[in-house]
A and B are shown apart, each in its own frame.
Chain A
């Protein structure tokens, strides 16, 4: 399907370059170059900058509700300034708005920052570059993917400015709460906009994922066997497959909810009495919604994590100046995680009234996923063993990722165990677990990627010292935010409580909540260091040389310029895997993939 495209593209370029050498070969208008661009590099930057904006919004929301949780009833001019008199009267957060903020914070972080932002930015940037392709299989679909993402972001943000407030049933939007406008104001227009936004988001995600899969399978350059691909590409490939298989299920799940909300069907509703009258709906079940939702929801965790882990593999190997340890095992564990992620969704539902026997099956499959995860962590650590570690800011964040992946991952063993889940289900223990293992790891991976590939994104370098400061402030405060939450969970504090002060049993936890909030505020301010560094470096950072990190993969074999078609002349030919760092027999400590194998030399990816 795409090979004709790629070969025409190839011909076009070859003929072009026969005539023109020194000029940029396309005269393009501003609109087609920077706005409705079909160039993967521009689309990647569009995704990144949109995600940065969304992340700032979601982070600000978290600061507002953290203020409320640490000092309930206290008046904050900040809250009044941001939310106005309706939702923040006298500087006190409205309980419905609290739930709305929690909901939108989760939605934006999970979908818009860590799915759209992470995959959108780095799959787009790195897939053509690292497999040696001129562009994506379909530049047009790729462009549509971004603009659907943009549209869904705008709708999601716009939903925060309507009269009844945005969706507020939690990011998991369980019906009937999300289906009944009588139950909560957020389930009026806000929920409709949430569903519309997510439906468009799913379209964007599917267009992107299909493109990634087709590009990786069909458009690898000569010599780029599957077993020579960098692990980033393996991770993006499996991520895209997970997306294609699971997002349509979320779409159907959302569609049925739209039907229930707007067309009086009863897929999820039965036996409800609300607003002083019994509803007509009979025969539906909220459990059906939960199954459909988590059939996406759990693969989604790995859609968020795998790209981060893939990029960490690349960054850790490059900066340890060592091959990634156990390349084949790493591929195997990516595939195993991808497969298992489809048969573990029920572990979110042990306490929902789902048949306990079904719960047992999910205990088994869920705990299995710990094995490939452990293999990945051990392989990262062994890659650093006897390395010659270069502390770029990207490397620091990659190490931070491994630490949070371990530290948050181990508590998953408790939550996966249905017996133990009984008492920590839906408490702050869960909040701590997924923020560390998914939130922190993925955002650390994203930061690592931005610092590492900034030269390919914007042709300039980010400031290293500011990168160090950003890393340390972020790491220290992040654990200050999320680690204490385990102890709140062990004390039985449920999540999504507007305040804990209505239960005397939680009165002795005030200082824990204060520590969490203070760390959150400092951590949020620390992101200012990143934002400054990011935007300043885009315009005024130092110019980057062609291969600043002395890396092997193909993106560093082309000049530091945004060339249409990526390589000025012919596409590079690949002769070896991407991880020949410090290989005996070579003077330099890196051997780019384009260097032919010497006589009798073995390719590292072959075993």
Chain B
């Protein structure tokens, strides 16, 4: 078998070599060299450029049409709705620029394809037109910058909401732990040297403020309509807490605490009834059925979004957004650190 394959390869090489010889010999007989661009080359490639433009645009719209409804659902947080609106405005703008400039590029590529009868127009510069296309992008960018920074300042401003829920997201290879601030609304101090099998997030056991803190793994519940202030820490390497449905993300950096705050606007139950989410989940479950997997329901998810090691792809936590009453009921069942530690 191997011998046959080898033989076939050798024959192929010989055949290829002979073919090349023939081509090389015939070169000398031709008037125009192979590498010279002829009028018919220009005509064909010019037309091909225009055709490519249509294919390119068709591919673009095909993708938008086919995959647009697989994008994340509309934001489930207050600031997220603003991000979505700004994102849409930007996408329309850049799509317009993308289509128009590519159109001119490929239209000129077609229109001015070369011909030995033609001569190009000597046109080295035009200060007015250059000024125009410097100023127009500058003005457009001014608006983009102004809106972007306005929202950015709002999103990153410090919270003065007395009713906020303070939660620490603690990352390590390769899972998340959440620490709720408890009744006093304050998180206890931490010290990485005190990390042990009974003190997984390294709480400072001498700090009384931390006694009522509540540790939760795998799934956390948060109340709808209240501000959530996330404090992020990491035990080992950089991780990133990514909550795509809330348009929230912040790196977890060892040696420091980072922050992000947001206000959820829809409970998990409400999201599950949202028409967009319903069709999204139908698509997901259709695919799962072909792989013989159980159907799933929509859930908010926390992912790790900064390369952190071998199981980076599997570092997750469920997030459930409850009504205030459900949240309080869930919270009743959680145990404070002090009780956990004394067990």
Contacts and interface: CB of A to CB of B under 8 A. Distances in A.
Contacts of B87: 414, 420, 423
Contacts of A575: none
Contact of B56 (A410, A422, A479): A479
A265 interface: no
B310 A95 contact: yes
Given A177-B309, A323-B124, A483-B59, A463 B108 contact: no
B52 A388 contact: no
Interface in A72-101: 95-96, 99
Contacts of A271: 192, 254-255
A379 B242 CA distance: 40
Contacts of A382: 123, 129
Contacts of A374: 133-134, 137
Interface in A283-324: 283-287, 320-324
A329 B125 contact: yes
Contacts of B307: 99, 169-170, 174, 177, 496
A273 B192 contact: yes
B249 A386 contact: no
Contacts of A283: 255
A374 B134 CA distance: 8
B135 to A, nearest CB: 9
A596 interface: no
Contacts of B193: 273, 278
Interface in A233-267: none
Interface string A349-389: 00111001001100110011011001101111110111111
A499 B27 CA distance: 52
Contact of A491 (B45, B72, B130): B72
Interface stretch (B145-153, B211-219, B322-330, B334-342): B145-153
Interface stretch (B4-12, B159-167, B180-188, B297-305): B297-305
Nearest to A497: B313
Contact of B24 (A417, A492, A540): A540
A274 B237 CA distance: 9
Nearest to A377: B101
A416 to B, nearest CB: 8
B1 interface: no
Contacts of B46: 389, 391
A415 B258 CA distance: 21
Contacts of B108: 381, 384-385, 387
Interface string B185-198: 00000001101000
A404 to B, nearest CB: 10
Contacts of B126: 325-326
Given A353-B256, A399-B105, A542-B27, A413 B94 contact: yes
A426 B202 contact: no
Given A363-B148, A425-B249, A584-B122, A269 B312 contact: no
Interface stretch (A122-130, A438-446, A502-510): A502-510
A434 interface: no
Interface in A179-212: 180, 183-184
A403 interface: yes
B144 A417 contact: yes
B314 interface: yes
A504 B71 contact: no
Q: Which of A271, A370, A583 has the most CB of B within 10 A?
A: A271
Contact of B253 (A353, A356, A388, A427): A353
A403 B237 contact: no
B18 interface: no
Interface string B255-279: 1101000000000000000000000
A509 B70 contact: yes
Contact of B303 (A96, A406, A494): A494
Contacts of A99: 307, 309-310, 312
A392 interface: yes
A532 to B, nearest CB: 10
Among B55, B293, B309, the most chain A Cβ lie within 10 Å of the Cβ of B309
A604 B192 contact: no
A95 B313 contact: yes
Contact of A385 (B70, B123, B195, B283): B123
Interface in B53-68: 55-56, 59-60, 63, 67-68
Contacts of B27: 542
A120 interface: no
B34 A403 contact: no
B226 interface: no
B236 interface: yes
Contacts of A420: 83, 86-87, 90, 148
B309 A183 contact: yes
A391 B125 contact: no
What band does the interface of chain B fall in when counting residues whose beta carbon is under 8 Å from A? 35 or more
B45 A386 contact: no
Nearest to B16: A532
Nearest to A391: B45
A411 interface: yes
Given A323-B122, A375-B133, A391-B45, A508 B284 contact: yes
A474 B325 CA distance: 58
B280 interface: yes
Contact of A174 (B138, B202, B238): B238
Contacts of B109: 384, 389, 399
B101 to A, nearest CB: 5
Contacts of A468: 45
Given A420-B83, A427-B305, A272 B105 contact: no
Contacts of A385: 108, 112, 123
Interface in A508-546: 508-510, 512, 536, 540, 542
Given A322-B121, A386-B120, A388-B118, A417 B90 contact: yes
A387 to B, nearest CB: 5
A422 B109 CA distance: 38
Nearest to A366: B145
B114 interface: yes
Contacts of A413: 90, 93-94, 141, 144
Given A352-B253, A381-B101, A384-B105, A422 B49 contact: no
A423 B83 contact: yes
Nearest to A359: B152
Contacts of B240: 351, 425-426
Contacts of B195: 273, 278
B151 A96 contact: no
Contact of B296 (A328, A381, A423, A504): A504
Contact of A582 (B24, B67, B121, B296): B121
Given A183-B236, A184-B310, A326-B125, 12 more contacts: A273-B195, A283-B255, A321-B119, A371-B138, A381-B105, A391-B42, A462-B35, A464-B35, A480-B59, A502-B314, A505-B284, A507-B291
5 nearest A-B pairs in the assembled complex, by CB-CB distance: A270-B255, A492-B244, A356-B156, A391-B45, A353-B258
27 contacts: A170-B307, A183-B173, A269-B254, A271-B192, A271-B254, A286-B238, A320-B120, A321-B114, A325-B126, A351-B251, A353-B251, A360-B153, A367-B145, A368-B141, A374-B137, A381-B108, A386-B121, A387-B112, A391-B45, A396-B45, A417-B148, A461-B33, A483-B59, A487-B67, A499-B313, A542-B27, A582-B121
Interface of B: 20, 24, 27, 33-37, 41-42, 45-46, 48-49, 52, 55-56, 59-60, 63, 67-68, 70-72, 80, 82-83, 86-87, 90-91, 93-95, 97-98, 101-102, 104-106, 108-109, 112-115, 118-126, 129-130, 133-134, 137-138, 141, 144-145, 147-149, 151-153, 155-156, 173, 192-193, 195, 202, 232, 235-238, 240, 242, 244-245, 247-251, 253-256, 258, 280, 283-284, 286-288, 291, 293, 296, 299, 301, 303-314, 316
